[in-house]
Chain A
Amino acid sequence: MATYSTNQFKNGMKVMLDGDPCSMIDVEFVKPGKGQAFTRVKLRNLLSGRVLEKTFKSGESIEAADVMETQMQYLYNDGSHWHFMVPSSFEQYPADENAVGDVAQWLKEEDMCDVTLWNGNPISVTPPNFVILTVTQTDPGLRGDTSSGGSKPATLQTGAVVRVPLFINEGDVLKIDTRSGEYVSRAKE
């Protein structure tokens, strides 16, 4: 297995720590002018999402994690798994609840997503920044009702619930920012 030495450390590097794949999110080199150098690293555990901090003596090595991000098309959900496909090879990958989590609410069939694979298995899914989804349920907007700040909840075809302006009706097609979970605009089908 490949290893990385402290002088190769950089943001985004994927390494194994205590058996879990982690991504470096901050790398700081510290060294007393006369003395041992250290590298302090903040890492995100790619399975739990937890951020931890670890200090390495310069020259130490750490095992690389076989982690890669691949663009895949979301195909369907079979009740327990979400299935993704690499369009060029038609290779399919089933992702479980742990990998998909809250992202499930933004997954629309045929959309392209970034799927992170560890040892060939999906461990996380990043949806497109913007998705186009149809409103399946929302109450009729009442003009002049400003108590709710001029917005109301709407349920979308994927099950996601977002705040939308009062003029939105069932059947409307909306553009949603998946990073904030916020309504952006109406969209053409």
Chain B
Amino acid sequence: MSAWRPTADLDTLRERARIAGSIRAFFASRDVLEVATPLLAAAPVTDPHLASLETEARIDVEPSTLYLQTSPEYHMKRLLAAGSGPIYQLARACRDDESGARHNLEFTMLEWYRPGFDHHALMDEVEALLGEILPDTTASRSTYREVFQRHAGIDPHTASVAALRDATRRLGIDVDDLGDDRDTWLHLLLATVIEPRLGVTDDGDLAIAFVHDFPASQAALAKIRHEPGRPTVAERFEVFIGGIELANGFHELTDATEQRARFESDLAQRERLGLPTVPIDERLLAALEHGLPPCAGVALGFDRLVMLATGSDHIDEVIAFPASRA
């Protein structure tokens, strides 16, 4: 096939546009404001597992090094701190080093924030939206601990590195030693063993599987909840449909001091891993110091949603021109 041609067929692109229209109607009916934020930003995410593309601008802007956003999260939080109220955006995002059947260098993310919601209230809204795009799917909620116990036979909050290594071998995953970082083993088990089994009914139909209460070490930008006699968990959730990770949400961290500490911990981990150091987003921290309203937010892979709605197996089938044809 000629390399100038789109990889998605035109019917799929029409369906994609129809789904985007349904999403906009959904949020309009709920008085959630559509916003647009920069793709090029002064500071990227610090997350060691996300690689930002960077570029130099010749206009008079300080700093002149700009980063293509891996998600619109920081700018949207600045809008929330400025009093925007509930907001959403269908945003373009870019992540280097990610390429495959479910990953393209640039992709479309549906991200929204709800002041006054916690992660459970936001899961309700995610369920309502998905019910419109994927009718007749049933939804269930499990904790991170429950899905690991069910599908990998281990407790992710207490299992030692040795136990995680044994579980990996027992479940047939052949991998070289990943070292002593528990989270790396948990990521491996989630991505290779557990995720393929989430969001699929016994009959093989699509279902919506919410997984919540992640280990505190995987909080990212979520609040952490301490309860006596229970593992400390992050108020974070993910959504899986048909074995695909579709969305990630947080009951958002609003504390500027804690946020700075997490950024610095990310930078320290980047240094340990030999990754490039990146500037911390001081404008986000200033917004948090000014005051981020208590809220919950979620990012949902729009291309993957279109894949599920159209029964596509590869992201190239739902985007006009993937990186290989850009």
Contact = CB atoms under 8 A, between A and B. Distances in A.
Contact of A55 (B102, B173, B183, B248): B173
A58 B97 contact: yes
B176 interface: yes
B26 to A, nearest CB: 22
B174 interface: yes
A7 B188 CA distance: 17
A36 B49 contact: yes
Nearest to A27: B100
Interface in A51-89: 52-58, 60
Given A53-B174, A55-B174, A56-B175, A7 B97 contact: yes
B175 to A, nearest CB: 4
Interface string B165-178: 00000001111101
B173 A29 contact: no
A33 B173 contact: no
B99 A29 contact: yes
Contacts of B184: 36, 57
B252 interface: no
Nearest to B191: A30
Interface in B178-214: 178, 183-184, 186-188, 190-192, 195
B220 interface: yes
Contacts of A56: 175-176
B218 interface: yes
A40 interface: yes
Contacts of A97: none
A148 to B, nearest CB: 42
A34 B49 contact: yes
A31 interface: yes
Contacts of B103: 29, 31
Contacts of B192: 30, 38, 40, 55
A32 B97 contact: no
Interface in B70-85: none
B98 interface: yes
Interface residues of B, number: 30
A35 B175 contact: no
B220 A38 contact: no
B111 interface: no
A10 B32 CA distance: 43
Nearest to B103: A29
A52 B175 CA distance: 12
B175 A37 contact: no
Contacts of A36: 49, 183-184, 187-188
B297 to A, nearest CB: 13
A55 B173 CA distance: 7
Contacts of B187: 32, 35-36, 38
B238 interface: yes
Interface in A1-51: 7, 27-38, 40
Contact of B248 (A34, A54, A58): A34
A71 to B, nearest CB: 27
Contact of A31 (B98, B172, B175, B220): B98
Nearest to A36: B187
B218 A35 contact: yes
B35 interface: no
A58 B187 CA distance: 12
B175 A34 contact: no
Given A31-B98, A34-B218, A38-B192, 5 more contacts: A29-B101, A31-B191, A53-B172, A55-B173, A56-B176
30 contacts: A7-B97, A28-B100, A28-B101, A29-B98, A29-B99, A29-B100, A30-B100, A30-B191, A30-B195, A32-B191, A32-B195, A33-B238, A34-B47, A34-B220, A34-B248, A35-B187, A35-B191, A36-B49, A36-B183, A37-B97, A37-B98, A38-B187, A38-B191, A38-B192, A40-B192, A53-B172, A55-B192, A56-B176, A57-B178, A57-B184
Q: Top 7 closest A-B pairs, CB basis?
A: A29-B100, A35-B187, A55-B175, A30-B191, A36-B187, A33-B248, A34-B220
